[in-house]
A = this chain, B = another copy of it.
Amino acid sequence: MILKTFRVLIADLCAQFKGGHPGGAMGMAAIGVALWKYTMRYAPHSPGWFNRDRFVLSNGHTCLFQYSFLHLTGYPDMDWEQLKSYHSDRADALCPGHPEREHEGIEVTTGPLGQGVANAVGLAMATKHLMGTYNQPGFEVVNNHTWCMVGDACLQEGVALEAISLAGHLKLNNLTIMYDNNQVTCDGSVDMTNTEDINAKMRACNWDVIDVQDGCYDIDGIVAALKKARSSQNKPTFVNIRTIIGVGSSVAGDAVAHGVALPADGVKAMKEMWGFDPEKSIVESGDLTQMRDFFEELPERGENWVAEWEERVASYKKQHPKLGKELEARMKGDLPLGWEDVIPAKLPDGPTATRKSSGLTFNPLAERYNTFMVGTADLSPSVNLMYENKNAFQHPELRTTCGINGDYTGRYIHFGVREHAMCAISNGLAAFSPGTIIPVTSSFFMFYLYAAPAVRMGALQSLQVIHVATHDSIGMGEDGPTHQPVELAALFRAMPKILYMRPGDSKETAGAWEVALRYRDGPSMISTSRHGLPQLKTTKRDLVAKGAYVLEEEEHADLTLMGVGAELNFAVNVAEELRSKHGLKVRVVSFPCYRLFEQQSTEYRRKILRRHEGIPAVMIEAYMAFGWERYADAAICMKSFGHSLPSKLAYKHFGFETGSMTGKVLDYLERRKSDPLLEREFVEL
């Protein structure tokens, strides 16, 4: 009766506003009971309990499933009025169309399919790492399990497949994927697009597989499977649960049960069949007494678990005071004390690639503080994040051919060539508990386009993840246009909440790291060069935080030259040539971060730009100019994809030599004189 009531509830909730995704939630009812009542360890009245099991709804469109169980199990925020707000007009609803991390009981925001799987892998890795680092004989201070619900679609998405492969490799036995195998997606039955043997595939990826045949009603069978999954010794578990989408309704098993409210007569028939009044809506009557009783004891059970755990932690702290103190600090999530002093005050004087400066800045922190987990999508030799004494995050029994092994205390993550999973997993690491782990990812900047959907989800969820994007300009050279990211900065500059920073030399690189470390409310991306860059005299580490600042001032200026990242030194050189050979008065502005500058006061911005005094501003960046129109009148920029040539020649090929840039600027200033309309028109030089 509980299952039937739950299903009618879902149908009626969708019927209210004639929309939503009822079918999956109805199909998964028994899985939900097995999870929330019989399997997961959590505390509805202490939703932030550090050692709680984590639940991820990767098939986020079935969010009503989760919302309903949050309500029934007694999460305070998800009261009856809130539950009814699904698809309503309420702007403050806790029932958005996909679960959102800001709300009580939701671990991660899901919706873009497949990513939830990777988030769950990250959550399970976080647990493994904390277990390895802090658990001591007799003291399991961390031992939670991660449960991830997926639908047919998630298992088709590349990001999930990447994460599944890695999770099997890492032997994350504290991770269970529950597959709501209803064989229906929007287009029709899944066998239209996918006829693989998923169990065999998961086994090939080093997962245990458990089948449940009657996932619609066999609660006991599901519970047994989940218990077995929790006790797995050395593999993650895939529970393949056959269900029927929209079970009980007139459209059961059909694709139309997926994404629209069920037909009214079908709901009526279902109610009649199951002994409900066909004319009455549960949503209107609110008659959920039986279900509420069924789940009644859960909050208390949860509080008992929490109390027991708190006791355990208290005696752990006595027995292991040093570790206890560190764990406490990490649970609080503050930045490690004294980190500012660990960043080197001095960096190399000579020409240095900013990817190298980046490593020099951050690696001492990574070495010293457990807070940081540093990953790479197979570009360790290129991204310069191999800190001293690094230890790889690996299953302790792994023995590799190359001899690089590790264990779960390890904080250097070899993600493999899996950029998208790397960033989605890192979101999971960060989401485990605010600030406990600050994940750092790394790859070539261009390949953050592969990972962009996950970078976006990190921004949307305000997760502090630091992305180290190297090889960020056409100066990366021979690899050619497939690797030269001429348009990608536009995406990350336009994306809300993320700080995309392109430092121009070592000092600015250190400044960018300081900003990224202090920015707790979202991801940062530090975008660096492959090739050596000169150290500029007037760059300022602390002014990176302003987004832009003046490198070289000039009271009565003819021109402001602006530069950014690997091209900042071009601006300095061109300014020098314009001064020495052409007698112009030229200011130079460094512009490492668009978003940070935008956040400054109007006064500050005007002081930096001085366009209001009629001083024309020319930006130099080897990207598409798109977006710089806000702050510049013209740009020396890319107008096409790049070209495979050695670094210097690639710049030359596209007109970024000092002489030719100087000529372009002079020509532009001339043209402005002859055509004053140009003053109101952005020009690509």
Minimal beta-carbon separation of A204 from chain B (angstroms): 4
A-B contact pairs, 23 of them (CB 8 A): A20-B478, A91-B645, A97-B483, A98-B480, A114-B417, A153-B378, A156-B417, A158-B158, A158-B450, A161-B162, A165-B194, A168-B196, A186-B378, A189-B404, A191-B400, A204-B204, A450-B453, A487-B494, A490-B490, A491-B494, A494-B627, A496-B640, A606-B677
Instruction: Scan A147-174; emit 1 where CB is below 8 A from any B CB, else 0.
Output: 0000011101111111001101100000
Instruction: Scan A564-594; emit 1 where CB is below 8 A from any B CB, else 0.
Output: 0000000000000000000000000000000
CA distance A165 to B152 in the complex (A): 13
In the complex, A52 has a CB within 8 A of chain B? no
- Take A153-B417, A379-B186 as given contacts and tell me if A490 and B494 are in contact as well, using a CB distance cutoff of 8 Å: yes
CA distance A450 to B419 in the complex (A): 12
As for how many copies of this chain the complex holds, the number is: 2
In the complex, A482 has a CB within 8 A of chain B? yes
Instruction: Scan A83-100; emit 1 where CB is below 8 A from any B CB, else 0.
Output: 000010101010011101
8 Å CB contact of A189 from B161, B196, B401: B401
In the complex, A322 has a CB within 8 A of chain B? no
CA distance A379 to B156 in the complex (A): 14
Contact indicator A206/B196 (Cβ below 8 Å): yes
- Take A186-B381, A487-B495 as given contacts and tell me if A457 and B482 are in contact as well, using a CB distance cutoff of 8 Å: yes
In the complex, A346 has a CB within 8 A of chain B? no
Minimal beta-carbon separation of A613 from chain B (angstroms): 9
In the complex, A195 has a CB within 8 A of chain B? yes
In the complex, A193 has a CB within 8 A of chain B? yes
In the complex, A680 has a CB within 8 A of chain B? yes
User: Apart from A490-B627, A496-B641, what 16 extra A-B contacts exist at CB < 8 Å?
Assistant: A97-B644, A112-B482, A114-B158, A153-B417, A156-B418, A185-B417, A189-B402, A191-B401, A192-B398, A192-B402, A194-B416, A254-B402, A449-B452, A487-B496, A490-B490, A494-B627
Contact indicator B111/A482 (Cβ below 8 Å): yes
CA distance A398 to B612 in the complex (A): 68
| Cβ–Cβ < 8 Å partners of A460 in chain B | 481-482, 641
With an 8 Å Cβ cutoff, the count of chain A residues facing the other chain is 127
Contact indicator A169/B157 (Cβ below 8 Å): no
CA distance A310 to B156 in the complex (A): 41
In the complex, A364 has a CB within 8 A of chain B? no
Minimal beta-carbon separation of A375 from chain B (angstroms): 11
In the complex, A380 has a CB within 8 A of chain B? yes
Minimal beta-carbon separation of A414 from chain B (angstroms): 5
In the complex, A382 has a CB within 8 A of chain B? yes
Contact indicator B98/A644 (Cβ below 8 Å): yes
Contact indicator A112/B606 (Cβ below 8 Å): no
Contact indicator B482/A89 (Cβ below 8 Å): no
**For residue A383, which residue of chain B has the nearest CB?**
B186
- Take A20-B478, A203-B200, A453-B449 as given contacts and tell me if A421 and B158 are in contact as well, using a CB distance cutoff of 8 Å: yes
Minimal beta-carbon separation of A509 from chain B (angstroms): 22
Instruction: Scan A249-268; emit 1 where CB is below 8 A from any B CB, else 0.
Output: 00000110001000000000
8 Å CB contact of A158 from B157, B379, B649: B157
A375-431 with Cβ < 8 A to chain B: 376, 378-382, 392, 394, 398, 400-402, 404, 414-418, 420-421
Contact indicator A91/B653 (Cβ below 8 Å): yes
| Cβ–Cβ < 8 Å partners of A453 in chain B | 449-450
Minimal beta-carbon separation of A15 from chain B (angstroms): 15
Contact indicator B91/A196 (Cβ below 8 Å): no
**For residue A152, which residue of chain B has the nearest CB?**
B417
